[in-house]
Structure 1
Amino acid sequence: MTAAGHRARKRFGQHWLVDERVLDRILAAAELVPGDRVLEVGPGRGALTERLLAGPLQDLVAVELDRDLVAGLRQRFGGDPRFHLIEGDALEVPLRAEGVEPPTKVVANIPYNITGPLLERLVGRLDRPVQPAYGRLVLLVQQEVGERIRALPGSSACSALSVRMQLLARCRSVCPVPPRCFAPPPKVMSEVILLEPLPPQELLAPAVARQVESLLRRCYASRRKMLRNTLAGVLPPEDLSRLAAEAGVELAQRPQELSPAQWVALATGLNRLSCVPTSG
């Protein structure tokens, strides 16, 4: 079966982007230059693959789970020596081809049902960022996820994901993608986002990263509660008030009102206090 004749499979979350203008926006956001090595997750029927291979890239590593689509992709692009196809789950298979240097950029149409795990695999965690990082990632995601990733403090979309991603990468929107741009159309709005991972010198120290993660889990588990309630028991009340004041945080605030920098300040102060020996 050819990729062109393939029917979308719901269990794979398949919705193929067919809008030429959006495809062009994705390509423009990737800013391909000679020597680039690109990882494409979910090439599907090859609409974006064709555009990528028409550019100046050095290699294109495509990861596709659907074996019927794999056959069509091999038939269509297998003659190009720059094209390297990996069949399998992007959460499990190596994201580089044998004998080829690792990719430097990512272009991905992320199935909505694996967005979180795949983001972690491509960007990493606060305490374990992907190294070496990709130069840039152009990702097609559900619009709700895109809004959460770049949400500002005080926004209803602000979440633990917002803090994690903004401490790992610079995040911005490229363009909205309505359902009509896909075949078959999904039931939700989508969005193309651009992530530019921070250089190593701007990433958190491991101990601070672990403490930020611990605070995010604790506080966002009860996002409607004030910090004085979610952080009760972390420190004696007087120490907690002093820590909050030093971090520029009000204990009457809720977690979604804090900026990434304030979470880092809380974590740094908490680590410092935990290292102070008790008297007696």
Structure 2
Amino acid sequence: MKSRKFKTKKKFGQHILISEGVIKNIADQIHITPEDIIVEIGVGTGQLTEELLKRNPKILYGIEIDPETYPIIEEKFASYQNFILIKKDFFEVNLRQLSEGEKIKIVGNLPYNVASLILVNMPFYLKIINLCVFMLQKEVAEKLTAKPETKSYTFLTVFLNTYFEIHYLMSVPARFFRPPPKVTSAVVKMIPKKDVPQFDVKGYKNFVSKLFHERRKMLRSKIDEKLLEKAGIEPEKRVEQLQISDFINLYTEYLKGKHKSKN
């Protein structure tokens, strides 16, 4: 009864997933074992949480920002000793502290209003992530799986795909949520790449972000042509034409030039 009385809040971007089929499908994608540490971002009223706990992970940390949901969650999962509710905003949580030195699996129906910001945090935790399965706005999911020379190919595409293999799993219609959002949703799976560049994640993030400002301009108007030449990139190209490997090469050459200028 409590979950029926709960009112979703626009400020938290809350849309409760009510499709049992989709919930089970998401849980299937995580391949939960008794050794797994799972982190769920945005517990809500616990529909997905319940399915995850049925599969008996070692521990499930549920991160939830909305105080109104706390009594609902605590009553619902009181019998589960492997569930810990973290009553915080995701951005106040240090995932390394939850990992206990182990790899973690991250899952969540991400609030639309902060989904991109949450995603951008994932490469910073790469070393402790086993995999991520996220429900997102379809438009964001399409950005994550976009190809060069398309409108959806953005900073988010390049930054995330530098560190993760990203798979578009399924689209989820608005009718599967309460209240129905105005957009279609989608589920993606992110698996850390084995060979990733070892340079500073924050520096690379800022570098790629700046390149995507005024994306229609030729690269030679943003980057020294000698640097482009060393990275094997034609100066007349635009940022949206570059492959992920081009960004990695370009930032590597940029760092080399920066290092030389200091010496």
Structure 1 segments of 4+ aligned residues over 6 angstroms from their partners: 96-103
Q: SS where residue 252 of structure 2 aligns?
A: helix
RMSD, aligned CA: 2.5
| Aligned counterparts of 1:215 and 1:134: Cα–Cα separation in 2 | 24
**What is the rounded CA distance, in whole Å, between the counterparts of 1:158 and 1:173 in structure 2?**
15
Contact 2:211-2:222 within 8 A present in 1 as well? yes
The reply on whether 1:142 has 2:131 as its aligned counterpart is no
For the 8 Å contact 1:61–1:96, the answer to whether it is kept is no
Amino acid at match of 1:142: Q
Asked if 1 retains the 8 angstrom alpha-carbon contact of 2:17 and 2:178, the reply is: yes
In structure 1, the partner of 2:255 is: 271
Deviation of residue 257 (structure 1)? 0.9
3-state SS of 2:128 partner? coil
Counterpart residue number, 1:164: 159
Tell me by how many angstroms 1:96 deviates.
7.7
Considering fraction of residues, name the structure with more helix: 2
Instruction: Say if 2:242 is the partner of 1:247.
Output: no
Counterpart of 1:37, as a letter, is I
**Equivalent position of 2:45 in the other structure:** 45
* The structure with more radius of gyration: 1
Paired position in structure 1 for 2:217: 225
| Residues 1:175 and 2:170 aligned together | yes
Distance 1:249 1:103, change over 3 A: closer
User: Equivalent residue for 1:216?
Assistant: 208
Aligned residue for 1:249, secondary structure, equals: coil
TM-score normalised over the length of structure 1: 0.84
Q: What's 1:256 paired with?
A: 240
For residues 59-115 of structure 1, the C-alpha deviation after alignment (integer angstroms, 9 at most, x for no partner) is 111111122211011101111111111112111134488897767111111111112
**Kept in 1: contact 2:103–2:130 (CA 8 A):** no
* Closer, same or farther: CA 75–97 of 1 in aligned 2, 3 Å: farther
Q: What per-residue deviation string (whole Å, max 9, x for no partner) do you get for residues 2-23 of structure 1? A: 2332111111111001112211
Structure 2 residues without counterparts, runs of 5 or longer: none
Q: Count the aligned residue pairs.
A: 262
* Paired AA for residue 159 in structure 1: T
- Tell me, what secondary structure is at the counterpart of 1:130? helix
Q: Residue 262 of structure 1: CA displacement?
A: 0.5
1:48-59 equivalence runs, <5 A: 48-59=48-59
Inter-CA distance 182–214: structure 2 relative to 1 (3 Å threshold): closer
TM-score by length of 2: 0.90
Residue in 2 that maps onto 1:70: 70
Write the distance in 2 (CA, Å) between the matches of 1:44 and 1:116: 19
Equivalent residue for 1:105? 105
* Percent of aligned pairs sharing the same letter: 29
Name the amino acid aligned to 1:19: S
In structure 1, distance between residues paired with 2:98 and 2:210: 42
Indicate the larger mover: 111-120 or 59-68.
111-120
Distance 1:189 1:118 in 2: 19
Aligned match of 1:206 = 199
- Alpha-carbon deviations, 1:136-169, whole Å to 9, x = none? 1101111111111121111211111111101111
Change (3 A) 1:181 1:87: same
